[in-house]
Structure 1
Amino acid sequence: MAEPNLPTTYNAFFYGTLMAPEVLYRVLYNISKTPTNPSLLKTITPAILPGYCRHKVRFADYPGIVAESGHTVRGTYVTGLTLDNVRNLDLFEGSEYVRKEVTVRLLATKNQDEGIMGEAVETGEEKPAQTYVFLNRTGLESEEWDFEYFKREKLRNWVGRSEEYAEVDAGGSYEVQESKEEKHDPTGGRGVGGAISQQLKDGIEAEYREKWMAEELSRVREQEQRVS
């Protein structure tokens, strides 16, 4: 059997910290603002994911989604992701999540000034997308995760801007919570100066790239077999 071809580009649905362009582009390109190079820009469209519910992860700044009938999740549909982008995203999300293909419904915002998460209506268009589903339901709170609260109170721990975040880069200025009498990083290593972020900043090692490519080929092969 011939080896499957990997997609040239991927589309994804984001529902948490990656809805913030500052976080998204830091993960994709190690920059903390929207790229000035047009070739690096991604198309970002509001969307909803039916059949899932978003919850806060215990002791964390970020959310997770799990399948729950009768619920929908509002997020962003991002197109034009490269293989390197998706590899970075997989590293960023880590072992707490599994990447799955889902179908999202696109939205159109009523007022462009309100931004990507402003009031919107469904366009009637559906698109396949990759998204990251949380694996451990017991690690989730019943409470819904609030994107506006995240931007206002937590985003600073996820985006580095030069000297403004020098202390955070040094590992000393994270907002911490106590969990079982131990200091806990609420970014899960994904914030500025965290272990995962440092891997992305330093560049992914060849061994990880090769392992990831083999796993991605296997994933695509299994998906093609299910379709056929």
Structure 2
Amino acid sequence: MEKRALFCYGTLQSPLVMKAVTGQSYNGQEATLNSWARFRVRGSEYPGIVRKEESSVTGKVYWDLDEPTMEKLDAFEGEKYERVVVQVTMADGTCMEAWAYAIKDECRKLLSDDPWDLDRFMQYGLEKFIHWFVEDRRDLFDRGDF
């Protein structure tokens, strides 16, 4: 079974969120995605990324995600996002390919002009996000996907 790398730039940087979604713990490493920008989705606690020259997005790369895990992540991200291959730069300067979830072009209007910040999310949005995740994604739990 093929294993994959995933660049996470939003809520999935939190080990708590990653474990809640996948049912597993992963160690991530810091990485940067160049020529992309991250904005908060209007009325939410999570971000989306879009291509934008002269911009960059910090995040984490997780390795060794199998297809069932990627399917859980696909369901979590929903229909507003698409899985794309990106080139990320690791902290040591090496580059590698990884998957990332980018907001679909037809959903770009859902993004605000507000940059999204992990520290702010961890301080003010994590509890609200977990509540949303459990309540609004209950169908995933009921189906036994988690």
Q: TM-score, normalised by structure 1?
A: 0.59
Structure-2 residue corresponding to 1:147? 118
Structure-1 residue corresponding to 2:4? 10
Between Structure 1 and Structure 2, the one with more strand by share is: 2
Cα pair distance change 1:20/1:197, threshold 3 Å: farther
Query: Is the 2:18–2:25 Cα contact (8 Å) retained in structure 1?
Result: no
Report 1:187-198 matches (<5 A): 187=132, 191-194=133-136, 196-198=137-139
Taking the aligned partners of 2:119 and 2:46, their CA distance within structure 1 comes to 12
- Classify the secondary structure of the residue corresponding to 2:113: coil
Unaligned runs of 5+ residues in structure 1 are 1-6, 30-39, 108-122, 160-167, 169-186, 205-228
Cα shift at 1:13:
0.3
Query: Is the 2:34–2:56 Cα contact (8 Å) retained in structure 1?
Result: yes
Larger radius of gyration: 1
Structure 1 outlier segments of 4+, above 3 Å: none
Structure-1 residue corresponding to 2:129? 158
Unaligned runs of 5+ residues in structure 2 are none
Taking the aligned partners of 2:76 and 2:138, their CA distance within structure 1 comes to 7
Taking the aligned partners of 1:57 and 1:148, their CA distance within structure 2 comes to 16
1:96 aligns to 2:80 (yes or no): yes
1:199 aligns to 2:113 (yes or no): no
- Percentage of identical aligned residues: 29
Which residue type is aligned with residue 28 of structure 1? T
Q: TM-score, normalised by structure 2?
A: 0.91
What per-residue deviation string (whole Å, max 9, x for no partner) do you get for residues 112-145 of structure 1?
A: xxxxxxxxxxx12111100000112211111101
Structure-2 residue corresponding to 1:23? 17
Pairing partner for 1:124 from 88, 93, 100: 93
Cα pair distance change 1:139/1:158, threshold 3 Å: closer
- Classify the secondary structure of the residue corresponding to 1:142: strand
Taking the aligned partners of 1:200 and 1:74, their CA distance within structure 2 comes to 30
Query: Is the 2:15–2:25 Cα contact (8 Å) retained in structure 1?
Result: no
Query: Is the 1:92–1:197 Cα contact (8 Å) retained in structure 2?
Result: no
Structure-2 residue corresponding to 1:137? 108
Question: How many residue pairs get matched?
Answer: 143
Q: What value does the CA root-mean-square deviation take over the aligned residues?
A: 1.6
Larger RCO (alpha carbons 8 Å, 6+ apart): 2
